[in-house]
Amino acid sequence: MAFLKRLLIQYNQLQKDPAPLCFAKPKDQDNDITHWTGYIDGPPQTPYAGGRFYLVIDFPPDYPFKAPRVQFTTPIYHPNISAKGEICLDILHSQWSPALSIRALLLSICSLLTDPNLDHGLNREALKCCEMDRKQFEETASQWTQKYASKQA
């Protein structure tokens, strides 16, 4: 039960001090505070600008000692995000710390959109394209953003 209280506290903190370009909340606060939905708006001056990328966050019973499971539901062309929406980010795996807040997690994912980690990729095609032809990578990522994540659609 302590982890449910912690989730509620973090949700209240996130409402008071929202992360720039990010939003997340429990899908059904009254019945299940462990399943959240949210989005990240594409950072300016990236191929993701103008897009809104939806995600789900599921908190395990041993949170905060175990990282939440975060997955994009909007298709996104990125070296560190798989076709299934899985995210390759150290703080979601080996570098997770119970001290990390949900706000910090959202900001880290947003930062990944600005600066892909080319040492660890889940999308091999996007990784190879980013390494070999950055301009082509950015064009493809921008096309995917317009096709799947446009806020104007």
Give the residue numbers annotated as catalytic, written as ranges.
Answer: 88
Comparing C-alpha atoms, which of 83, 81, 38, 84 is closest to residue 59?
38
Bridge partners (DSSP) of residue 28 are: 32
Count of other CB atoms within 10 angstroms of residue 41: 19
| 3-class secondary-structure state, position 115 | coil
Phi/psi for 22 (5° steps) reads -130, 150
